[in-house]
Amino acid sequence: MELHLKDKVAVITGGSIGIGLAIAEGLANEGTHLLLVARQPERLNAEAERIKQLYGVRALGVSADVAVAKDIEEVVRVVEREFGGADILINNAGTGSNETIMEAPDEKWQFYWDIHLMAAVRLARGLVPFMRRRGGGVILHNASICAAQPLWYEPIYNVTKAALMMFSKTLSLELVKDNIRVNTVNPGLILTPDWIKTAKQLTADKGGDWQGYLDAIAKEHAPIARFGTPEE
């Protein structure tokens, strides 16, 4: 099946690990050039180089914190300088939370607002002009099933991912005339490093059986009684 992705340019946030890295490899396999964005430069650059060698596409890494406005401005500058723009934006960066609503301070709410919602807003403002000049594009937001059905132990995550989903719906109305499609995917239980980190935090004072904790969640919430993989 020809997906018409050869020589397109994709920007992927959270692109050095988990779902973001799996997306990057899937696009590279179709001949898409990549700009990967993540906070840890060593791992980011290593993955970009590996993908470049394996798939024969251009793959660059930009170390940036997408919760910070000036870092996003740098990402946009690099996209323009290195590729002349972008055709695809994958807003994948994010992280879980385990504070309750009553406990979480304003600073924690602001951080999750910035990384889950404002990063998508700022990247759209920066990259949509390129897509318009190229005749169209695609923006894909990786939200979560929690955007529709909250988990009790991730309240800030639930709320900000729901906001991201509504932003996606609203942005799609604004950009449809420009031939830019905007969609959201809401993954369920996917075994990412963030899930493992959260499980370890929640079981630290209960013997540290994080694997048993994840197994119990999968049996309760997943019809196949296991976590999915990023590649799936």
pLDDT in tens, 130-180: 999 999 999 999 999 888 888 777 899 999 999 999 999 999 999 999 999
Residue 112 annotated in active site:
no
pTM for this model (two decimals): 0.90
14 vs 90: CA distance, rounded Å? 9
Q: How far is CA 171 from CA 4, 8, 87, 148, 187, in A?
A: 24, 22, 16, 18, 20
Tell me the two tokens of residue 87: 């055709």
| CB burial readout 75-106, b (16+ within 10 A) else e | bbebbeeebebbbbbbbbbbbbbbbeeeebee
Query: How far apart, in whole angstroms, are the C-alpha atoms of residue 186 and residue 212?
Result: 24
3-state secondary structure of 195: helix
Give the pLDDT confidence score for residue 99 in this predicted structure. 83
- Structural domains in the chain, CATH included, are 9-188 (3.40.50.720), 189-232 (no CATH)
* Termini Cα distance of the chain: 18
Residue 77 is predicted with a pLDDT of: 98
- Selecting among 55, 112, 157, 213, the annotated active-site residue is 157
Segments in the chain below pLDDT 50: none
pLDDT at residue 208, rounded to an integer? 81
Q: What is the DSSP letter of 116?
A: I
The CA–CA distances, whole Å, from 174 to 180, 203, 226 equal 9, 44, 38
Cα(177)–Cα(103) distance, rounded to whole angstroms?
44
The pLDDT of residue 149 is: 87
